[in-house]
């Protein structure tokens, strides 16, 4: 069984080589081939998750057997979801997102000074399309390693266009109601990004939800007491912001788009994305500022070290300056969360042995097993 861990540069390059040759630059060529053969979406990226995954996506702490307890090998799981518009002029956004994955790994996760380095960052990708498309929304699993890129390749973006509104509300709904993330159990929040140039719809459609997520979607989302009337998109966004630092990264400057998203998420959460190729830098700046590992001055230096000119770095930092800077640091458990190497009594615990939240009952249920051998990551840029 493959042990999930850190991403490998050599593995990414192997996938990228196949994309360049077999896919002719289309990162999703395997997913498109599968659908054209009549097999439908791969279950890993089908929001229904059939037959074995289900519609709920999880970003959980990786606890491995270690003597009498369980070792938190990589730190607390941090959920990061990026939903990408692939309609019309945004049709090649998923290819660009695949191309910038090395920068994402470097700036967010594994590089020197990476803004989420203390966590076990697990990334989920979503594809936003139109209700008239075969698959209006697609969503990967949360993954900490090269499965992120591999699952990107399983999507089937139609790269076309319908009416002006796209199905952004489906991504908001999935993040708000169909996610099980360990980070929220500590009172902290994950990071949700929606990337595109259009608005979503103001209301959820019951039939569309069932079509995309499965006939039992309302039970999965709300439990046995499903509401008679569905929440509006603004209400979904409010629910989302209870567990996520949510942002819309706006490509292009259409005024009505910024207005709609400002009403849904809040003006301070709408950030101009100069171009999709700058996705990694903008996400790193937003996360670094929210986590308190960057400030408005050090963020410029951070981006310059990543290869941007002073003008480019300053432009991105200025675009992010209005977000809720340092918000993650204001939550009580921000400085208290377990770090990599902590030992737990059971896989159900969220606090290590000897700290709050660990009961004597849990300690008595420790299991014995050989520890897993650590592998040295080979990701370097």
Model confidence over 318-331: pLDDT tens digits? 999 999 999 999 99
Going by C-beta distance under 8 Å and a sequence separation of 6 or more, which residues neighbour residue 349?
Answer: 357, 358, 362
Task: List, in sequence order, every residue forming a beta bridge with 179; answer none if it has no partner.
Answer: 57
Q: Is the dihedral of CA 252, 234, 159, 133 positive or negative?
A: negative
State yes or no: pLDDT of 358 exceeds 50. Answer: no
Contact 314, 304 (CB under 8 A): no
Give the C-alpha distances (Å, rounded to integers) separating 165 from 126, 162, 198: 17, 8, 6
Contact 15, 150 (CB under 8 A): yes
> Please, what is the average pLDDT of the chain?
91
State yes or no: pLDDT of 375 exceeds 50. Answer: no
CA angle (241 as vertex; 238, 242 as ends), nearest 5: 95
Q: Is the dihedral of CA 241, 245, 250, 254 positive or negative?
A: positive
**359: pLDDT confidence band, cut at 50, 70 and 90?**
very low
Of residues 164 and 169, more confidence is placed in 169
Interval 89-110: pLDDT, tens: 899 999 999 999 999 999 999 9
In the chain, what are the domains?
9-330 (3.40.50.410)
**46: pLDDT confidence band, cut at 50, 70 and 90?**
very high
State yes or no: pLDDT of 378 exceeds 60. Answer: no
**3: pLDDT confidence band, cut at 50, 70 and 90?**
low
Report the predicted TM-score, pTM, of the whole model to 2 decimal places. Answer: 0.92
Angle subtended by helix axes 310-320 and 296-305, to nearest 10: 140
State yes or no: pLDDT of 363 exceeds 70. Answer: no
Between strands 244-250 and 190-196, the pairing is parallel
At 361, list the tokens: 């009952």
State yes or no: pLDDT of 280 exceeds 50. Answer: yes
3-state DSSP call for residue 265? helix
Instruction: Give, as one character, the DSSP assignment of residue 355.
Output: S
CA distance 194 to 356: 36
Give the C-alpha distances (Å, rounded to integers) separating 116 from 122, 157, 247: 10, 29, 17
Look at residues 281, 263, 262 and name the one whose alpha carbon lies nearest to residue 273: 281
Question: Any idea which of 1-5, 11-15, 290-294 has the lowest mean pLDDT?
Answer: 1-5
CA distance 131 to 320: 31
Contact 93, 85 (CB under 8 A): yes
């Amino acid at each position: 069984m493959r042990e999930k861990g850190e991403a490998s540069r050599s593995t990414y390059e192997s996938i990228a080589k196949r994309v360049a040759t077999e896919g002719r630059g289309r990162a999703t060529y395997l997913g498109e081939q599968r659908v054209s053969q009549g097999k439908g979406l791969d279950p890993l990226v089908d929001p229904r998750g059939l037959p074995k995954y289900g519609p709920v996506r999880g970003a959980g702490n990786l606890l491995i057997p270690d003597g009498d307890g369980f070792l938190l090998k990589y730190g607390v799981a941090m959920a990061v979801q990026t939903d990408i518009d692939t309609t019309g002029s945004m049709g090649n956004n998923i290819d660009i997102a695949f191309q910038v994955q090395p920068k994402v790994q470097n700036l967010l996760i594994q590089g020197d000074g990476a803004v989420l380095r203390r966590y076990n960052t697990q990334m989920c990708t979503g594809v936003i399309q139109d209700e008239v498309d075969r698959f209006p929304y697609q969503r990967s699993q949360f993954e900490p390693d090269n499965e992120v890129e591999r699952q990107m390749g399983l999507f089937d973006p139609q790269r076309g266009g319908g009416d002006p509104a796209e199905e952004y509300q489906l991504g908001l709904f999935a993040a708000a109601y169909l996610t099980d993330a360990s980070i929220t159990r500590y009172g902290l929040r994950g990071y949700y990004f929606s990337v595109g140039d259009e608005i979503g719809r103001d209301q959820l459609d019951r039939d569309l939800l069932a079509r995309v997520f499965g006939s039992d979607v309302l039970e999965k989302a709300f439990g046995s007491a499903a509401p008679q009337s569905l929440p509006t998109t603004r209400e979904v966004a409010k629910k989302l912001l209870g567990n996520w630092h949510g942002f819309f990264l706006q490509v292009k400057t259409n005024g009505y788009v910024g207005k709609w998203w400002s009403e849904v998420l809040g003006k301070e959460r709408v950030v101009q994305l100069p171009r999709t190729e700058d996705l990694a830098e903008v996400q790193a700046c937003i996360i670094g500022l929210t986590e308190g590992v960057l400030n408005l001055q050090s963020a410029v230096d951070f981006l310059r070290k990543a290869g941007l000119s002073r003008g480019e770095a300053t432009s991105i930092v200025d675009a992010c300056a209005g977000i809720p800077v340092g918000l993650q640091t204001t939550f009580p458990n921000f400085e208290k969360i377990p770090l990599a190497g902590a030992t737990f009594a059971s896989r159900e615990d969220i606090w290590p042995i000897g700290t709050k939240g660990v009961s004597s009952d849990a300690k008595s249920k420790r299991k014995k097993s050989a520890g897993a051998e650590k592998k040295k990551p080979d990701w370097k840029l």
